[in-house]
Amino acid sequence: MERIERDIGSVVLVACARGDGAACSTCGVVARRVHGRYVRRLRDVAVGGLGAVIQLPVRRFHCENLACPAVTFAEQIPGVTSPHAPFTPLLLGEFDAIGLALAGRACARLSVKLGIAVSRHILLRRVRALPENTPRLQGRRCWTLTTSRCARDTSTARS
């Protein structure tokens, strides 16, 4: 952690990775030759009711394995970054929990109050991507009426 800044409606945590190299995500060979750098902004769980953003300089490396199909790759920090994700894994877990409990517009309204504002579309997409054996609400309080089982349960409950 290098510094903490306060932005409009959020807290910005400026950090940097401290390593000589990184393991290739495809073949696992540790690379030390830097191809380039860029700054990644990841949304994280709220801090003091304000949304948190981790500003992280990321390095792209050349894979040193000539047989590897990945010519370059970005370093990943376990527990903080995921490939191509604008959110931390911890925040994604909160999205899943909120999405399973409420879903839709109510879920989006609650996320604003919690300081992690997100659209209902992202939350519903996360819920739909969960494994089939994840417990979901049934009957009249089902997370969505688009599945045939939930629609059948609610229609029989009303008649």
- At position 84, the amino acid (one-letter code) is H
Counting every residue written for the chain, the total comes to 159
Condensed to tens digits (0 to 9), the pLDDT of residues 125-146 reads 888 888 877 766 554 445 444 4
Give the per-residue pLDDT at 113: 87
Mean pLDDT of the chain: 83
Average pLDDT over residues 18-38: 91
In this predicted structure, the answer to whether residue 82 has a pLDDT above a threshold of 90 is no
Tell me, what's the pLDDT at 34?
94
Which is more confidently placed, 100 or 32?
32
Q: Which residues pair with 56 in a beta bridge?
A: 40
Query: How many other CB atoms are there within 10 angstroms of residue 133's CB atom?
Result: 6
In angstroms and rounded to an integer, the radius of gyration of the C-alpha atoms of the chain is 20
pLDDT, residue 137, reads 54
Residue 65 has pLDDT above 50, yes or no: yes
Task: Provide the pLDDT for residue 41.
Answer: 95
Question: What pTM was estimated for this model as a whole?
Answer: 0.75
Domain coordinates in residue numbering, the chain:
1-78, 87-159
Query: What average pLDDT does the segment 103-122 reach?
Result: 86
The amino acid sitting at 151 is A
- Is the per-residue pLDDT at 154 higher than 50? no
pLDDT above 90: percentage of residues in the chain: 41
What pLDDT shows up at residue 131? 85
- Which residue has 């994840």 as its token pair? 134
Helix-helix angle 104-113:89-101, to 10 degrees: 130
**Count of helix runs (H) and strand runs (E) in the chain:** 4, 7
